[in-house]
Amino acid sequence: MELSESAALDLIIFGGAGDLAWRKLLPALYMAHRHGSLGERHRIIAVGRQDWPRKQYVEFVDRMSRPGIDPASMQPLHWQDFLRRLDYVQLDATQPEGYERLKAACQPDSVKVFYLAMAPDLFTAATAHLHGAGLVDANSRVVLEKPLGHDLASARAINEAVARHFEERQIYRIDHYLGKETVQNLMVLRFGNAIYEPMWRAPFIRSVQITVAETVGVGTRAGFYDHTGAMRDMVQNHLLQLLCIAAMEPPISLEADDVRDEKLKVLRSLRKLTPAQLRQDTVRGQYTAGSVEGERVPGYLQENGVPAGSRTETFVALRAHIDNARWAGVPFFLRTGKRLPRRQSEIIVEFSQPPFSLFGDQSGLQQPNRLLITLQPEESIRLQMMAKEPGSGLRMRPVYLDLDLQSAFTERRAEAYERLLIDVVKGRLTHFMRRDELEAAWRWADPILEGWDSLGDPPKPYPAGNWGPPAASALVARENVLWSEAQ
């Protein structure tokens, strides 16, 4: 349902004083306000356990959120106008009493959007109490923040609990990677350009790499992270969503379900890894003490809150195969980790070499064409090609056709959370996961996690500031491929 500009909307953030709210959600909503994407009757109601009056919460947001906003966008008058949108309601999400106060704080004729920025084990109680208080109607929406489950069984339990009170069309399972400009641009790159789609398949593509690298450690999230690990935290959601967009068939339209139908087909086509294949096709790592960006950092086992002897992985690399006609025989290499040398998210599509080289003794210099799609820190699309060096003869070297999206488009580029929050306000589901997508992703990931447990192998150590264990390089080398930093 698309809202008119004059319609009333209450965006209710559970966990309104939490890290995600003040660090990401409220700055994103300020930017939406600053650039006219919120209507005059759109309000933000934070919900939390702290017994604060509204004034104290507003002061908290001013102190915590304001410093993280780009100074070029921080206009005092706009900021004060934004703060006037805020309200605060104290309640315990597990108890019914506070929900009547929340109902009283809402505009009586508003569309209500509930953003559950809290632990998933609270989703069942929160949605039940929202329904019990009469806050849920046919126009309501609920946003579910990850992680959505620890495995397939728990994901199903969350989905079933929320589905008791919200229809699927009302549920927005958020993955902020789907809000990144370059991820959404990948749809246009693939399906809006005739030069790519005919070659976007085997045998023209030799391999695909997807990397999401972080320089940070676990920070203050050790309690959460040690029960989650890199596979659940990053691969099962972020990396698989990137894989789906890179590998999907053309949808019949851009309607939400048409796009999500094609992503689901990719997930269902992912080859299941047997326990016997895990040692060959997957690598688990855990960072030890080292140096990142010139700073000495402790190992994972020395981080505050990490139990002694923990076998939680902070790095995963794996080889995946999509068993369909488009991708038969093409390996997809997925990699993510903490305490790596640089923050970097990218998709690299490596095309097959020409079947015959005309260049004789220079054939060793010939490198495959690669399409490099960088998601962060800077968004760009580059095509690596071979070209002739200046001078006599036909000596080759690789060059790049470079699309710098920052200079190609001078308009302001919204951050991922801002873009997705606007989609929620406007009722657009395309860039949110459907229930069957989420469960299909867990159906593929669960046997890997269970296989690791049954094998009992500890994660391989790697010094902080390195690109993971050496076994990760060996994983791609067996296909005569190099990770991007080694190319």
Residue 84 backbone zone (phi > 0: left; psi -120 to 50: alpha; other: beta): alpha
User: Does residue 168 sit within a domain?
Assistant: no
Specify whether 230 is located in the same domain as 359: yes
Cis peptide before 147 (omega within 30 of 0): yes
Specify whether 59 is located in the same domain as 189: no
Q: Which of 33, 176, 238, 431 is catalytic?
A: 238
Specify whether 482 is located in the same domain as 357: yes
Any idea which of 276-290, 333-347, 378-392 has the lowest mean pLDDT?
378-392
Q: How many Å apart are CA 356 and CA 270, to the nearest integer?
A: 32
Rounded to 10 deg, the angle between the 76-83 and 54-64 helix axes is 140
Classified as helix, coil or strand, 144 is strand
Ranges assigned E (strand) in 65-118: 86-90, 111-116
C-beta of residue 318 within 8 angstroms of C-beta of residue 193: no
Cis peptide before 368 (omega within 30 of 0): no
Domain count, the chain: 2
* Residue 251 confidence (pLDDT) above 80: yes
Specify whether 124 is located in the same domain as 268: no
Query: For residue 360, what pLDDT is reported?
Result: 66
pLDDT digits (tens, 9 = 90+) for 429-460: 999 999 999 999 999 999 999 999 999 999 99
User: Does residue 431 sit within a domain?
Assistant: no
Arithmetic mean of pLDDT, 464-473: 97
Classified as helix, coil or strand, 132 is helix
Specify whether 352 is located in the same domain as 455: yes
Specify whether 241 is located in the same domain as 119: no
Neighbours of 224 (CB within 10 A): 13
Query: For residue 1, what pLDDT is reported?
Result: 56
User: Does residue 116 sit within a domain?
Assistant: yes
Q: Where is pLDDT greater, at 186 or 358?
A: 186
Specify whether 186 is located in the same domain as 138: no
What CATH code is carried by the domain that includes residue 67? 3.40.50.720
Q: What is the CA radius of gyration of the chain?
A: 24
| pTM of the predicted model as reported, rounded to 2 decimal places | 0.93
Cis peptide before 203 (omega within 30 of 0): yes
User: Does residue 334 sit within a domain?
Assistant: yes
User: Does residue 245 sit within a domain?
Assistant: yes
Neighbours of 322 (CB within 10 A): 26
Q: Is there a catalytic annotation at residue 238?
A: yes
pLDDT digits (tens, 9 = 90+) for 20-51: 999 999 999 999 999 999 999 999 999 999 99
User: Does residue 429 sit within a domain?
Assistant: no
What CATH code is carried by the domain that includes residue 301? 3.30.360.10
C-beta of residue 185 within 8 angstroms of C-beta of residue 245: no
Beta-carbon contacts of residue 143 (< 8 Å; ≥ 6 apart): 113, 114, 115, 116, 172, 174, 424
First to last CA, the chain: 48
Q: Give the domain range for residue 345.
A: 178-415+437-486
Residue of 291, 283, 312, 222 whose CA lies nearest to 463: 291
pLDDT digits (tens, 9 = 90+) for 197-206: 889 999 999 9
Specify whether 96 is located in the same domain as 184: no
pLDDT digits (tens, 9 = 90+) for 150-193: 999 999 999 999 999 999 999 999 998 898 888 888 888 899 98
Specify whether 141 is located in the same domain as 202: no
Mean of all residue pLDDT scores within the chain: 93
User: Does residue 354 sit within a domain?
Assistant: yes
Beta-carbon contacts of residue 50 (< 8 Å; ≥ 6 apart): 17, 57, 90
Q: Which two tokens stand for residue 84?
A: 């006037």
Residues in the chain: 487
Domain boundary among 121, 145, 169: 145
Q: How many Å apart are CA 352 and CA 367, to the nearest integer?
A: 10
Query: For residue 378, what pLDDT is reported?
Result: 81
Q: Where is pLDDT greater, at 412 or 225?
A: 225
User: Does residue 171 sit within a domain?
Assistant: no
Q: Which residue has the tokens 């805020």?
A: 86
Domain boundary among 97, 127, 145: 145
DSSP letter, residue 432:
S
Q: How many Å apart are CA 211 and CA 483, to the nearest integer?
A: 9
Q: How far is CA 401 from the centre of its chain?
A: 27
461 φ, ψ (degrees, to nearest 5): -75, 150
Query: For residue 377, what pLDDT is reported?
Result: 86
Specify whether 352 is located in the same domain as 292: yes
Specify whether 333 is located in the same domain as 482: yes
Q: Which two tokens stand for residue 184?
A: 């959404």
Specify whether 137 is located in the same domain as 184: no
